[in-house]
Structure 1
Amino acid sequence: MSSPQIRSLSWGLMTVEGSSAPYKDCKVWPGGSRGWDWRETGTDHRPGVQPADLEEVLKKGVDLLVIGRGMSEALQVPSATLDFVQQKGVEVRVLQTEKAVAEYNKLAVQGAKVGGVFHSTC
Structure 2
Amino acid sequence: MARSPHVVHISWGRIDVEGLGPGKDFILYPGGGREWDWSENGTRHEPGIQPADVQEILDVGVTAVVLSRGMELRLRTMPETLELLRDHNVEVHVEETKAAVLLYNRLARTAAVGALLHSTC
TM-score, length-normalised on structure 2? 0.96
Which residue is 1:50 aligned to?
50
Which residue is 1:9 aligned to?
10
5+ unaligned residues in a row in structure 1: which ranges? none
Which residue is 2:117 aligned to?
118
Amino-acid identity (%)? 47
Alignment of 1:79-94 (within 5 A): 79-94=79-94
Letter in 2 for 1:118: L
Letter in 1 for 2:88: K
Deviation at 1:7, TM superposition (A): 0.6
- For the residue of structure 2 that corresponds to 1:22, the secondary structure is strand
Moved runs in structure 1, 4+ residues, more than 4 A? none
1:57-114 CA-partner distances (Å, limit 9, x unpaired): 11111000000110011001122210011111111100000000000001112x2110
Letter in 2 for 1:114: V
- Backbone CA RMSD of aligned residues: 0.7
- For the residue of structure 1 that corresponds to 2:48, the secondary structure is coil
Q: How many Å separate the matches in 2 of 1:2 and 1:84?
A: 23
TM-score, length-normalised on structure 1? 0.95
Which residue is 2:105 aligned to?
105
Deviation at 1:23, TM superposition (A): 1.1
How many residue pairs align between the two structures? 120
